[in-house]
Chains A and B, each alone.
Chain A
């Protein structure tokens, strides 16, 4: 039986709030943390007064740097963090939506989880009474949950949606155009993850699931949910194959196509390991004749301290790459 990793916290019940206070301290002038109801917004910027569509994303905490780390110029206007692995409340989403609205409407980028979809939906109905137009893009890229009753879960493809829609919004795209763009990205995006170590909630005395020394959870969710099954622990070469092969089949990518590729650490996986996985991914896509046009390698969508990695492939064209390359200035992405 594995023992829980110790975590550096004060009060386990105050983890989310204190981390938000830390974030605010770290990014003064860039981010503003609002309390009760809690949300993270861009700091007021007199140079950014144009009326445009505003973007919000949110979800349970424990996945940092997502989503608060994606708030800033060229990406989100606000992020709405719930408690660890719990949807934000409708009141939080409502407050954030009202705060960011500039009269051109607000896009809600939602990962496909029942609570998130419901609470964002409630907030959208509430603000609609005051004339704030809200539309949404639901991100459901997790291939491991293909065919599940509640639909596929949402995971790291949300980064591409937030980045591209944020860039398009900055260029003046309408709410309807952003929905169309977001849905097109989602339709061409799939993610597959695996865990080699379980996660532990801050303050908990044992991990949230058990994994034998020779076992790997394939298709694991970003809350440690069961995946498609357990496979034997193996080399990076073999493990990467378990992720990439189903992605290529599912997306039906053809030779000559281009993708944005994300190799994402799930919380406790070292950058060296992520680079090795990226190298394996690159070799496999070379063989398949698919070009990695852009990439992200790092920990962007974590599952607390889970050891493991996810690979996201997003079908890309010139228009998407142009939006991807647009300037962005957030705590987690900056170019």
Chain B
């Protein structure tokens, strides 16, 4: 049983995320067009391209791939990009200068990253944002630390993120661009939360867990 995220799995997580963005950016962009301003898909895609470029010079530590992602999102416009950049930065710090991130440290870094998003973005759970997937994922991960099973813990986080993202379809937004469309956003899941579900699914797969049930996208 693997109980730490090593550099190879961290890299596989990031590679999987880049591939998933390439595959699903149009779908996420379409969600954003329905409830926001429609730039989310293209912002994600331009971040993915920067990630690929950054990976070439990323250090071979467990945090290196996450630093490449963080830097890419920090250089992205919009609101979601930089907030995702701060989340990845917490993982990059947890894996800086070492070959693997023990599960307990990973759970703590995930929670730190989520706290940074709350602090800087000012949203809470229930506001129909990426936090509606991030917070349950962080809680699920923290709850699975004692199992000592990285794959099972990330799978639990991915399940929780997917459920959280699906539930955003029933919410109307208080913050962000979708707050301007009011109840018209009901029935459509939040694209940011959907991307977070995708992100944790990639993490679970990189750790060796079977794919999460595919979350619906309205």
A residues sitting closer than 8 Å to B (CB atoms) are: 37, 82-83, 86-87, 89-92, 94, 114-115, 118-119, 121-122, 125-126, 129
- What are 10 A-B pairs at a CB distance below 8 A? A83-B77, A89-B76, A89-B77, A91-B71, A91-B74, A118-B120, A122-B82, A125-B86, A125-B120, A126-B74
Cross-chain contact B71 with A115 (CB below 8 angstroms) = no
B residues sitting closer than 8 Å to A (CB atoms) are: 71, 74-79, 81-83, 85-86, 89, 93, 116, 120-121
* Smallest CB-CB A-B distances: 8 pairs: A91-B75, A91-B74, A90-B82, A90-B74, A122-B82, A89-B75, A121-B120, A118-B120
Give me 15 other A-B pairs in contact (C-beta within 8 A), A89-B77, A89-B82 excluded. Answer: A37-B75, A82-B77, A90-B74, A90-B82, A91-B75, A94-B74, A115-B78, A118-B121, A119-B82, A122-B74, A122-B86, A122-B120, A125-B116, A126-B89, A129-B93
Give the residues in chain B near A83, CB-CB below 8 Å: 77
Cross-chain contact B74 with A89 (CB below 8 angstroms) = yes
Give the residues in chain A near B75, CB-CB below 8 Å: 37, 89-92
Give the residues in chain A near B78, CB-CB below 8 Å: 115
Name the residue in A37, A90, A126 with the highest tally of chain B Cβ atoms < 10 Å from its Cβ. Answer: A90
Cross-chain contact B71 with A86 (CB below 8 angstroms) = no
Q: Whole-angstrom distance between the alpha carbons of A118 and B82 in the complex?
A: 9
Give the residues in chain B near A129, CB-CB below 8 Å: 93
Q: Whole-angstrom distance between the alpha carbons of A122 and B89 in the complex?
A: 11
Name the residue on B nearest A94 (C-beta).
Answer: B74
Name the residue on A nearest B89 (C-beta).
Answer: A126
Q: Whole-angstrom distance between the alpha carbons of A115 and B122 in the complex?
A: 12
Give the residues in chain A near B71, CB-CB below 8 Å: 91
Name the residue in A83, A91, A114, A119 with the highest tally of chain B Cβ atoms < 10 Å from its Cβ. Answer: A91
Give the residues in chain A near B85, CB-CB below 8 Å: 90, 122
Partner of B77, one of A87, A94, A114, A121: A87
Give the residues in chain A near B120, CB-CB below 8 Å: 118, 121-122, 125
Q: How close is B46's CB to chain A, nearest CB, in angstroms? A: 11
Q: Whole-angstrom distance between the alpha carbons of A126 and B85 in the complex?
A: 11
